[in-house]
Amino acid sequence: MKESRYSAAGVDIDAKAALLSRARDTIRSTFTSGVLGDVGGFGGLFRPDFAAYREPVLVASTDGVGTKLRVAVEAGRHDSCGADLVNHCVNDILVQGARPLFFLDYIATGKIEPAVLEAVIAGIARGCRDNGTALLGGETAEMPGFYEVGDYDIAGTIVGVVDRENILDGSRVRADDLALGLPSAGLHTNGYSLARRILFEDLGKRAGDRLKELGNKSIADALLAPHLSYLRALEPLLAENLVHAMAHITGGGFFDNIPRVLPENVDVVIRSGSWPVLPIFQLLQKEGDVSFEEMHRVFNMGIGMVVFAAPEDLSRVAKIWAAADQRFFAIGNVVPGSRRVVFEPAPGALSS
């Protein structure tokens, strides 16, 4: 039999079909009641139930996980970044008050390596199940000559829904509101280009190296810590209308993300030292000689989500989070201003 010219050019259609066949059950495990049809259609079919909504509004977002994937490839750990992708996208629509309905993924690689991509898909599916959203469809592209063998990239699109009257657009934020921080697990999915430059190029370390500054954890353990989803922690607050706004602390850190959810007549004062900064950030700041301002613009510094709530609602919020075993820190407050983020030392904390 004559060899396929397409296969000789680096694209194996049979390998892609076999990968999809093996992943069918994993994908089906995410299906919710709204999913119509099965895996493999040209488009995913979803019938939403809007009975509980007076005026449903769809909210959509697309994102990736950046060069965190480079660390995953170097460490040979491919089962976590897929869930990171889903959780990142869930948080992005959550800040507008939306709950997820379905998710679409895109995976591109230089050569299909079944074990690697099955692990990636399993991670995406796990993230979807954990967030109650369906993996409705996606695409796997084999692109020799564009990606090196062993490299891959992933991106995702999420669609959710919120009642129009419950959209969080910053208009509810007012002076005296509290800024409450939910802790991150690490870098989440931002700042990896700088982190990799400092750790791997400047310091000459490898992903498997263990450092005393990280509590004897490996660099891979620290950098591949999961991007947390805050859906479960925040759904009860949204149901009771306790949230005035939320900011997902991703690329741009505190300085760029918080102003996105503020009206023009307020500032947010963040008290530096009011939450524990994770060792990985302390290491990067010290060894990379990175300024305080840049650290808080590039990284989340241990706070993955900032929630704005009225001071009179704090006891109720704290009770809900205590029942959910969700830690939080009172990291600042809203004051009259001009849509800025200002840092000041917390009482008793060392100046930044």
- Write down the pLDDT at residue 50: 97
Establish whether domains 5-35+52-166 and 178-345 are of one fold. no
Across the chain, the runs of DSSP E, i.e. the strands, are 35-36, 45-46, 56-64, 99-109, 134-142, 152-163, 178-183, 210-211, 217-218, 245-248, 266-272, 303-309, 329-336, 341-345
Q: Give the domain ranges of the chain.
A: 5-35+52-166, 178-345
- Write down the pLDDT at residue 347: 64
- For residue 351, pLDDT over 50 is answered with no
- For residue 328, pLDDT over 50 is answered with yes
Report which of residues 129 and 17 the model is more confident about.
129
- Write down the pLDDT at residue 350: 40
pLDDT band at 346 (very low <50, low <70, confident <90, very high): low
- Write down the pLDDT at residue 11: 78
- Write down the pLDDT at residue 352: 33
pLDDT tens readout for residues 17-62: 888 888 999 999 999 999 999 998 899 999 999 999 999 999 999 9
In whole angstroms, give the CA distance from residue 29 to residue 123.
Answer: 12
Phi and psi (nearest 5°) for 155?
-145, 160
Long-range Cβ pairs for the range 207-211 (8 Å, 24+): 207/71, 207/74, 207/75, 208/75, 211/283
Structural fold of domain 5-35+52-166 = 60s Ribosomal Protein L30; Chain: A; (3.30.1330)
In whole angstroms, give the CA distance from residue 90 to residue 213.
Answer: 32
Instruction: Please state the length of the chain.
Output: 352
pLDDT band at 1 (very low <50, low <70, confident <90, very high): low
Rg, the chain, Cα only:
22
In whole angstroms, give the CA distance from residue 266 to residue 244.
Answer: 13
What would the mean pLDDT of 92-120 be, rounded to a whole number? 97
Report which of residues 93 and 352 the model is more confident about.
93
pLDDT tens readout for residues 227-267: 999 999 999 999 999 999 999 999 999 999 999 999 999 99
What would the mean pLDDT of 136-164 be, rounded to a whole number? 96
In the numeric block, which tokens belong to residue 40? 């493999």
* CA–CA distances in Å: residue 156 to residues 46, 128, 136: 17, 11, 11
Per-chain mean pLDDT for the chain: 95
Q: Look at domain 178-345 and name its CATH class.
A: alpha beta
pTM value is 0.95
